[in-house]
């Protein structure tokens, strides 16, 4: 019986037909293609995208700069007297991140002690291409705070 089955299998090419059947079945299944850029796939909540800084919340502890595995965060701060409260406080002079080398590992965000964090990567932004090399690759403090949440592919603002 099994010899007969083996003979049939070998000469009737059943294994090849099984393979053909699988590909034919897949022809009629739903396709998984997403038509980018008309449809965009929404990243997860914890997705590590482009980072954003909030200068007011930042306490200038420089933990993020120390935690960075590749040392691309450059922070300078100085003491200044705040005219409103007449107390000395730290003020950021420079908070630059070299995006060329950033690997979006999120250790800076993890190290930040403020609640909510002053530097965070969960901005769901991964479309960072631009026509100008230097506008996006070495981002200074203002750039970090003010970039649009999702660079628009069309002219309309996408929040």
**Which residues lie near other proteins (CB under 8 A)?**
10, 13, 15-16, 18-24, 26-27, 29, 31-33, 35, 43-48, 67-69, 103-107, 110, 121-122
Chain-centre distance for alpha carbon 72: 17
| CB 17, min distance to other proteins, A | 10
**For residue 39, how many other CB atoms are within 10 A of its CB?**
9
What string of DSSP letters covers 94-114?
EEEEETTT-----HHHHH--S
| CB 19, min distance to other proteins, A | 5
| CB 41, min distance to other proteins, A | 9
Task: Name the nearest CA neighbour of 151 among 45, 37, 54, 34.
Answer: 37
Comparison of 3 and 87: residue with beta carbon closer to other proteins: 3
Comparison of 91 and 107: residue with beta carbon closer to other proteins: 107
Comparison of 45 and 133: residue with beta carbon closer to other proteins: 45
Comparison of 91 and 122: residue with beta carbon closer to other proteins: 122
| CB 116, min distance to other proteins, A | 15
Is residue 114 within 8 A of residue 58, CB to CB? The reply is yes
Query: What gap in Å lies between CA 133 and CA 59, rounded to an integer?
Result: 31
Q: Is 151 helix (H, G, I), strand (E, B) or coil?
A: coil
Comparison of 13 and 81: residue with beta carbon closer to other proteins: 13
Is residue 114 within 8 A of residue 53, CB to CB? The reply is no
| CB 30, min distance to other proteins, A | 8
């Amino acid at each position: 019986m099994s010899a007969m089955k083996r003979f049939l299998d070998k000469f009737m090419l059943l294994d090849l037909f099984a393979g053909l059947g699988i590909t034919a079945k897949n022809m009629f299944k739903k396709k998984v293609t997403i038509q980018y850029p008309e449809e965009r796939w929404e990243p997860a909540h914890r997705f590590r995208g482009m980072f954003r800084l909030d200068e007011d919340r930042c306490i200038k502890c420089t933990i993020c700069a120390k935690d960075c595995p590749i040392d691309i965060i450059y922070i300078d701060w100085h003491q200044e007297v705040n005219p409103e409260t007449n107390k000395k406080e730290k003020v950021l002079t420079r908070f630059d991140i070299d995006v060329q080398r950033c690997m979006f590992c999120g250790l800076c965000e993890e190290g930040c002690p403020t609640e909510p964090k002053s530097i965070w990567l969960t901005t769901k932004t991964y479309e960072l291409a631009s026509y100008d090399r230097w506008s996006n690759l070495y981002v200074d403090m203002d750039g970090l705070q003010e970039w649009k949440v999702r660079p628009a592919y069309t002219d309309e603002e996408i929040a």
